[in-house]
Amino acid sequence: MAETTYLEAIRQGIAEEMERDPRVFLLGEDIGALGGPFRVTEGLLDRFGPTRVIDTPVSELAIVGAAAGAAHMGLRPVCEMQFIDFIACAYDMITNYVATARYRGGLSTPLVIRGPSGGYVRGGPFHSQNPEAAFLHTPGLKLVCPATARDAKGLIKSAIRDDDPVLYFEHKYLYRRVKEDLPADPEILVPLGSARVARAGHHLTVVTWSAMVWKALEAAERLDREDGLSVEVLDLRSLVPLDDAAIVASLQRTNRVLIAHEDTRTGGMAGEIAARINELAFEWLDAPVRRVCAHDVPLPYAPPLEDYILPQAEDLVAACRWLANY
Amino acid sequence: MPSSRSTAGPQPLPTDLSATDLLALYYYMRLTRVLEERLVALHRQGKVVGGLFRSLGQEADAVGSAYALEPGDMLSPLIRNLGSMLVQGATPLEVFRQYMAKAESPTAGRELNIHFSDLERGFLGQVSSLGTMVPVMAGITLYFKLTDQPRVGLVYVGDGAMSTGAFHEGLNFAAVQRVPLVVVCENNGYAYSTPTRMQTAAARLVDKAAGYGLPGVRADGNDVVATYEVTREAVTRARAGGGPTLIELVTYRRKGHAEHDDQRYLPAGELEAWEQNDPIARYRDRLIGAGWAGVEDLGREDARVETEVDGALARCIDEPFPAIGTALSGVFADPPAAEPEWYRALPGAPSDRRAGEPPHG
């Protein structure tokens, strides 16, 4: 069986949902004839036609706003942000309008906003961001960030079927670097809000998601080889809803936790997870919760600078050793 | 009182409006005004728990434009378009309950004033960020277009909202997609305290239409028949696939931004001049002068308005606020996995949760 890349998995997931549900349609910049800058939507215009794959003006706010209106009426729009950095242009629409619509007015707004996020690709300050924390703080939004091809497919399908707005952060570094055999049958659906143990271990836990899962697996392999440490890697997959139970269960096995994310540190997701561990399972800790995150600067372009600012496997190895020796 | 005109019999009715329609326009304008007057009294008594936003002097533009829609069409108002929602079937009872944050209000006490929706009756409540509803209504009308339904959308903006990015992106999107959306700019002279000349360097707001490749029309917003006529033409064009129109209705905001605003920024004499151009008084004179309605007809409508408004208020004034237990639900369609307030529950003494813990490596 041919291997499916992370990118192809997203495309397959979208196409399957468009096939299954005529209410699903796509909105975005350059997603039709071009298929998007990374070709995530390649071929979908030919297959589904211009009423299901709509090229829009350069207007992120209008893309999300129009999707919200269509979603109120029962359609299931999937919006592409050409790079996820530009989701900031739609921030008002997403946080003030979309996220609040159900609570304040009973308006159903089933839409997906997806786009390439993340660094390690020399993209500079505006093509490398991980903006999940900016939306974490707004009740009413679900946030997902797949690390594997299987989850990329299973989560985009679940996101499209969900009755609430879902922000789907796909990692551009993983697009063509991650691949696996994906059987066409049975159908792949990954529930929102469910974490996955990417590697079992008993000395300490690395809680992470998206591309950082692969850095954590690399670090775990090295720690096993060089230190004899057994590191568990918990891939959250969804940030909202957050699988508190999986985090606590892993902590109860290992009693030491490192939270690693590619986003900057201050106000990042790691702080929220650390607070929840404190509230839910403080007595189970044998060491302080540690964080490995990007330093608090806009992401620079030059390779040595980007590599320094973003967390690397060595940073995780060092933090894990500190935790194990605490 | 009889003039040479009335002895010659009534003038022909304007456009496609019947005598019943003409009375309905009067009724909705009066309903808007009386309802707001009652709200002012309630605000002073502290029964309106938030701000109160009047549309005094602007009743014609909201009512006349909304009256141009057909059943199945959808509009999204701004804060001074209460009249448009009444035309679409929103009730005084709902409005009172909203302002007083009653449990039985359309939003169960979650949202303010006229921020409420009923997609069946054809109105989508606004949010407070200005211009936001233009892209959303572009999406509603995109749905009409994608599903081949001959339905039209209408969205209101003000002279202030037209300065926002959301307005620009939404109108441009609507124009490019050629969706059946009519955009009504209610130019009432002020956004809070800022006059229109400080919002835009354009000579007229309607001139912006050309930049979007759209037809633009301007009308007297205090003439209810004129607002109906220009909107009706735009609605008909939209329904026939002709795409959006930008309409500028020129009117004047005779009260402050909200009840607390003392309008200290107004030039002397401006308000008094506009008081002489009251849309309801003008329309009343025209109905009688043209022989389209008699004094008794209008008296009947006035009485009907008073009865309906008083009845609605009596019904809800003593209703309770929502119970606090309702505040946590409904953020998502699915209930949360854990009770949302779990983190406030304090455990007792330091727990021995690790007692009996299996030994680990």
Residues within 8 A of B (CB atoms), A 216-245 only: 230, 241, 244-245
Same-domain status, A204 and A175? no
pLDDT for A1: 59
- Domain annotation covers residue A121: yes
Spatial CA neighbour of A249 closest among A290, A277, A291:
A277
Residue of A nearest to B179 (CA): A66
At B349 the pLDDT is 60
Tell me the residue type at B356. G
Contact B132 A97 (CB under 8 A): yes
What span, in angstroms and rounded, lies between the C-alpha atoms of B6 and B290?
7
Q: Which residues of A are catalytic?
A: 127
**Integer Cα distance of A64 and A70 in angstroms:** 10
Q: Is residue A281 part of a domain?
A: yes
Q: Which domain holds residue B133?
A: 23-261+268-319
Query: Which of A71, A102, A283 lies at the smallest CB-CB distance from B351?
Result: A283
Q: Which among B142, B354, B357 is the nearest to A66, CB-wise?
A: B142
pLDDT band at A109 (very low <50, low <70, confident <90, very high): very high
Residue A50, chain B, CB below 8 Å: the answer is: no
Listed by number, the residues of chain B in 121-140 with a beta carbon closer than 8 Å to a beta carbon of chain A are: 124-125, 127-129, 132, 134-140
SS3 call for A218: helix
Task: Please check whether residue A190 lies inside any domain of the structure.
Answer: no
Beta bridge partners of B75: B123, B154
Q: What is the CATH number of the domain that holds A286?
A: 3.40.50.920
Residue A162 sits in the same domain as residue A250: no
Tell whether A313 and A166 lie within a shared domain: no
Domain membership of residue A203 (yes or no) is yes
* Last residue within a domain, chosen from A116, A150, A181: A181
> Could you tell me where the beta strands, DSSP code E, fall in B159-206?
181-187, 190-191, 194-195
The pTM for the full model equals: 0.95
Q: How far is A140 from chain B (nearest CA, A)?
A: 5
In sequence order, the β-bridge partners of residue B123 are B75, B118
Is the ipTM of this structure higher than 0.90? yes
Domain that holds residue A157: 3-181
User: Which of 75-114 (B) contact A at CB < 8 A?
Assistant: 106-107, 110-111
Question: Chain B within 8 Å of A249 (Cβ-Cβ)?
Answer: no
Phi-psi region of A37 (alpha: psi -120 to 50; beta: other; left: phi over 0): alpha
Question: B196 Cβ partners below 8 Å, 6+ apart?
Answer: B159, B187, B189, B190, B205
Q: Is the pLDDT score of A194 beyond 70?
A: yes
- Across the interface, whether the CB atoms of A241 and B337 are under 8 A apart is answered yes
Whether A245 and A166 share a structural domain: no
Structural domain includes residue B327: no
Least Cα separation, residue A283 to chain B (angstroms): 7
pLDDT at position B347 is 67
CA distance B7 to chain A (A): 53
Helix count (H) and strand count (E) of chain B?
11, 7
Measured between CA atoms, the residue of chain A closest to residue B114 is A105
Domain assignment of residue B162, yes or no? yes
Same domain, A321 and A205: yes
Residue of B nearest to A66 (CA): B139
Predicted confidence at residue B187, as pLDDT, reads 96
Total domain count for chain A?
Answer: 2
Contacts of B125 in chain A (CB under 8 A): 105
Counting Cβ atoms within 10 Å, is residue B252 exposed (0-12), middle (13-18) or buried (19+)? Answer: buried
Nearest CA distance, B354 vs chain A (angstrom): 6
Q: Which of B127, B129, B330 sits opposite A103 (nearest CB)?
A: B330
For residue B130, give the CATH number of its domain.
3.40.50.970
Enumerate residues 287 to 326 of chain A having a beta carbon within 8 A of any beta carbon in chain B.
Answer: none
> Which pairing describes strands A204-208 and A3-5: parallel, antiparallel, or unpaired?
unpaired
Residues A26 and A83 in one domain: yes
Looking at the structure, tell me whether residues A114 and A237 fall in a common domain: no
Q: Mark yes or no for CB contact B166/A62 under 8 Å.
A: yes
- Average pLDDT, 10 consecutive residues per value, chain B (361 residues): 50 88 98 98 96 96 98 97 98 98 98 97 96 98 98 97 97 98 96 94 96 98 98 98 98 93 94 96 97 97 98 98 92 78 69 58 40
CB A113 within 8 A of CB A145: no
A279 contacts in B (CB within 8 Å)?
A: 343
Contact: A92, B129; criterion CB under 8 Å: yes
| B330–A73 C-beta distance less than 8 A | no
**DSSP class of residue A89?**
G
Pairwise CA distance, residues A47 & A15, whole Å? 9
> Which of residues B3 and A250 earns the better pLDDT score?
A250
Cα separation, A312 vs A21, in Å, equals 41
Instruction: Name the strand (E) or helix (H) holding B59.
Output: helix B59-66
Nearest chain A residue to B334, by CA: A163
Domain boundary among A181, A212, A228: A181
Residue A160 lies in a domain: yes
Nearest to B171 by CA among A10, A85, A59: A59
Taking contacts as CB-CB distances below 8 angstroms, the residues of chain A near B330 are 102-103, 106
Residue A189 resides in a domain: no
More confident residue, A294 or B328: A294
- Does B352 touch chain A if contact means CB atoms closer than 8 Å? yes
A121 shares a domain with A43: yes
Query: How many folded domains does chain B comprise?
Result: 1
Interface of B with A in 198-237 (CB under 8 A): none
| H or E segment and range at residue A307 | helix A303-309
In a domain, B272, yes or no: yes
Q: What is the pLDDT of residues A26-48, one digit of tens each?
A: 999 999 999 999 999 999 999 99
Whether residue B11 is contained in a domain is answered as: no
Residue A274 vs residues A158, A245, A264, B202, B276: alpha-carbon distances, Å: 27, 14, 15, 53, 65
Residues A254 and A279 reside in one and the same domain: yes
Give me the CATH number covering residue A10. Answer: 3.40.50.970
User: For chains A and B, what is the number of CB pairs under 8 angstroms?
Assistant: 151
Answer whether residue A12 is part of any domain.
yes
State the DSSP string of B200-261.
-SSSSGGGGGGGGT--EEEEETT-HHHHHHHHHHHHHHHHTT---EEEEEE----S-SSTT-
Q: If DSSP codes are grouped into helix, strand and coil, which group holds residue B135?
A: helix
Q: Are residues A287 and A169 in the same domain?
A: no
- Of the three residues A146, A181, A216, the one that is the final residue of a domain is A181
CA distance A36 to A31: 4
Mutate to test the interface with A, among B332, B342, B353 (most CBs of A within 10 A): B332
